[in-house]
Structure 1
Amino acid sequence: MSVQLNHTIVHSKDKHESAAFFAHIMDLEVAPEFGPFVPVVLSNDVTLDFATIPAESITAQHYAFLVTEAEFDGIFGRIQADGLDYWADPHQKQPGEINRNDGGRGVYFLDPSGHALEAITRPYGG
């Protein structure tokens, strides 16, 4: 049996806001609420389960998503249309830019709870 990631819990200030934000930017659907979670299912059947916890308990995480060139165009277009800050690097030293690492494109931006989200069109080192 191969090991696969099935789901992970994303701590959020507001699970509905964070799930809706993520689904909007990534052009995905928010699934029906399941217990304390608001799920968003990715195309490879991995689920991000957004859960509300006290804001002071949230430790910012980094979530990277491999997307097609066409998906990147849509994601980046929504980031710009929504007036979000974005960076070419994880340390936020290159604001208003995207990167072209490994012959692809990449962008970093923050979700409403402060998690760093990354969209890339090529895996690093690939």
Structure 2
Amino acid sequence: MPRRTDRGAADGRHDRGDAMPIQLSRIIIFAKDKRASARFLTDLLDLDDPAPAGIFVAVRLADGVTLHYAQPAADFPRQRYTFLVGEDDFDAIYARVRDQGLTFWADPYRRTAGQIAVHDGRGLYVDDPSGHILEIVTRTTW
């Protein structure tokens, strides 16, 4: 059977019978304060302002994926979200992290505070206001 990643409209529109590639459209991210977490991310990554989207606060990424921040009534597990950025963007993000006095690590286990990872590209880890780990990398490992 052919893979579905090589067919269909690139803009995400399709008729009922048309084949289209399977794409990630949105991710729901639980937050203690959906507005604060969405604003933290947009400020950190220099993205467009968050926008209301029904009960969510939405952040659109350049690849068309939208992050929908929600405030659940119950506790939620901490997650890790990885963002692939270019070298110049990494420099700017790293500068914002330092300028804001944010604690950051070179690893997700928090063993190397104040350092960036330099294996196979550069990377850093920082917590968002809800405790999620934001991983910023210049290369993916696979």
| TM-score, normalised via structure 1 length | 0.93
The alignment status of 1:23 with 2:42, answered yes or no, reads: yes
Structure showing greater radius of gyration is 2
1:66 to 77, 81, 84: 84
Kindly indicate whether residue 119 of structure 2 is the aligned counterpart of residue 101 of structure 1: yes
Q: In percent, how many aligned pairs have the same letter? A: 43
1:43-80 deviation line (CA, Å, top 9, x unaligned): 101011011124x5121000001000011011111111
3-state SS of paired residue (2:52): coil
Q: Give the CA deviation at 1:30.
A: 2.5
- Counterpart check, 1:34 vs 2:91: no
User: Do the aligned partners of 1:9 and 1:48 also contact (CA within 8 Å) in 2?
Assistant: yes
Where structure 1 has 5 or more consecutive residues not aligned to the other structure, the ranges are: none
Q: For residue 64 of structure 2, what is the aligned residue in structure 1? A: 45
**Greater fraction of residues in helix:** 1
Number of residue equivalences = 123
Q: Is the 8 A contact 1:30 1:38 kept in 2?
A: no
In structure 2, runs of 5+ residues without a counterpart are 1-19
In the alignment, what sits opposite 2:134? 117
The Cα RMSD (Å) is 1.1
Structure 1 residue 32: deviation in Å? 2.3
